[in-house]
Structure 1
Amino acid sequence: MTAKLRIEDLTHTFKGTQDIDVLDGLSITIRDGEFVTLLGPSGSGKSTIFNLIGGLIEPDQGDIFIDGKRVNGTRGNISYLPQQDSLLPWRTIEDNLVLVQEINGSVDRKRARKWLKRAGLGGYEDSYPNTLSGGMRQRVAFIRSLLSPQQLMLLDEPFGALDELTRLDMQDWLLKMWETDRRSVLFITHSIEEAIYMSDRILILSDKPAKIIKEIQVPFERPRHHDITLEDTFTKLRREIYLLLREGDSQ
């Protein structure tokens, strides 16, 4: 598979009364159709990495390539799904879905309704966000991301605000939707179990200034079911990652 995202030797420091070194020579490659997760201590720079990829800030050193094109400091190259759904309360569900299409100048309401039906939300086109549950709103937000033309998706703890049962349900749902439209995904979570369950690869970050201390290839085949969380291989991998995170947090 070819590289969808390539980060080379990324270094970044936040300047202020006391400079904070956030990234230290970070390099990452994500291939077409791959689901990769970043795991690291709180404050280790995961969101900064997303901001750099999205062009909101520029790195002090290093380069970011998407589809082989250097994109340092440029926007509009990625699809982004944050922890909060960010749906506009005054727009209907369908109007929220086509918002990205409006920005890109090509609205396809038929496609939006098709994806809503596929997501189990058929009949909610004219509803407003405040009438939907948290899980339903996150489904809408994810479908909105799929309707954008960018083939690289950054998912920043999209299930963090959900209760545990809804979170497990959303994990299965998102993987099912992703299987039908395999875009390249870079995923942030603080849950070791979620990282193992969702990912093809997991990148373990040290505390800041962040660097990758280990890359883990997840051994489970797709499609996945939550029964794998009971397997010995899953338990051993979870323990290995836990110890790596403890090690990274102490560096």
Structure 2
Amino acid sequence: MGKLSLQHVSKSYGSNYVLQDVSFHVDEGEFVSIVGPSGSGKSTLFQLIGGLYAPDNGDIMLDGKRVNNSRGHISYMPQSPALFPWRTILQNVLLSSEIAGQKDSTKAKELIEKAGLGGYEQAYPNQLSGGMKQRVAFIRSLNSPQSIICLDEPFSALDEFTRFEMQEWLLTIWEEYRKSILFITHNIDEALYLSDRILILSEKPASVKKEIIVPFTRPRAEDILLTEQFMKLKREIHHDLRG
């Protein structure tokens, strides 16, 4: 499965009100991005969804089950690859499935091959480039048993060319496996190129200010980035973020 729903979620830390009455959903196999001003609570949302903290109000539902303050239900990929330097690439990819008690390495090896990392199974993270490390981190998420993946600005540290290569690669892999993805980014082009829907957060305390349904068909092609429709949506989102 992989259907996530937030229902009227609020969160504060003392007098610091971060989220207020946030409601949205991610359907099974859907790619949804969240954009918002800096400090608007995007990462706090992931902390709540991941069960690190409990919301003050509201419910977080996964496949119809309330998972407030409950861990182990999602796969999370942070901004840095967070690979263990003493584990090989294969061992890093297997980590999430090992935690879940699954020992079969067949799928992990298949993912490594499809990520263009065949031959690197026994290499260590310090032998890989930044983009290669991000591929390992993502396929580790895909190899986990959880049905939804939360990606927190995973390409923000990459140069522009490598970033776009990673976006194309991510779409290719995701379209084959179709896990549900909730994606945080500050990059409007990235959100439009990758997503089915985009959620725009307001200033703190954040709520969902607007939802945009991305009209481009899949599979996505690079040439949509220069279309008038793409530029119009980009200007609209930029205006909403500034307004």
User: How does the TM-score come out when normalised to structure 1?
Assistant: 0.95
Instruction: Establish whether residue 91 from structure 1 lines up as the match of residue 90 from structure 2.
Output: no
Q: Give the distance between the partners of 2:109 and 2:147, measured in 1 at CA.
A: 20
Which residue is equivalent to 1:64?
Answer: 60
What amino acid is the match of 2:93?
L
> Which segment drifts farther, 37-46 or 106-115?
106-115
Aligned ranges 1:143-182 → 2 under 5 Å: 143-182=139-178
- 2: distance between equivalents of 1:187 and 1:101? 22
For residues 226 and 70 of structure 1, the distance between their equivalents in structure 2, rounded to whole angstroms, comes to 39
Q: 1:72 is matched by which residue type in structure 2?
A: N
**Percent sequence identity over aligned pairs:** 58
2-structure distance, mates of 1:97, 1:194: 25
Shift of 1:111: 1.8
Asked whether 1:126 is paired with 2:113, we answer: no
Q: Tell me the amino acid that sits aligned with residue 164 of structure 1.
A: E
- CA distance, structure 1, for counterparts of residue 13 and residue 121 of structure 2: 43
2:25 alignment counterpart:
29
Q: Secondary structure at the match of 1:213?
A: strand
Using the alignment, how far apart are the partners of 2:207 and 2:29 within structure 1?
24
Separation of aligned partners in 1, 2:126 and 2:219: 33
Q: State the Cα distance separating 1:108 from its structure 2 match.
A: 1.5
Q: Residue 7 of structure 2 aligns with which residue?
A: 8
One-letter code of the match for 2:13? F
For 2:221, which of 205, 221, 225 is the aligned residue? Answer: 225
Identify which range, 62-71 or 93-102, moves more after superposition.
93-102
- CA–CA separation in structure 1 for the residues paired with 2:116 and 2:75: 22
**What is the match of residue 140 of structure 1?**
136
Q: Deviations over 1:19-73 (max 9, x none)?
A: 1111110001111111000010000000000000000000000000000000000
Q: What is residue 201 of structure 2 aligned with on the other side?
A: 205
1:225 Cα deviation (Å)? 1.4
Q: Distance in 1 between matches of 2:7 and 2:152?
A: 21
**Residue identity matched to 1:244:** D
SS across alignment from 1:98: helix
Paired amino acid for 1:197: Y
Cα RMSD after superposing both structures: 0.9
The answer to whether the Cα contact below 8 Å between 1:3 and 1:29 also exists between their aligned partners in 2 is no
Deviation, structure 1 residue 110:
2.1
Tell me, which stretches of 5 or more residues in structure 2 are unaligned? Answer: none
* One-letter amino acid matched to 1:194: E
Q: Verify: 1:189 aligned to 2:185, yes or no.
A: yes
Give the Å deviation of 1:97.
Answer: 0.9
**Residue deviations 1:185-240 (CA, integer Å, cap 9, x gap):** 11000001000000000001001000111100001000011210100000000000
Amino acid at match of 1:76: G
Q: How many equivalent pairs are there?
A: 243
Q: Where in structure 1 do 4 or more consecutive aligned residues deviate above 4 Å?
A: none
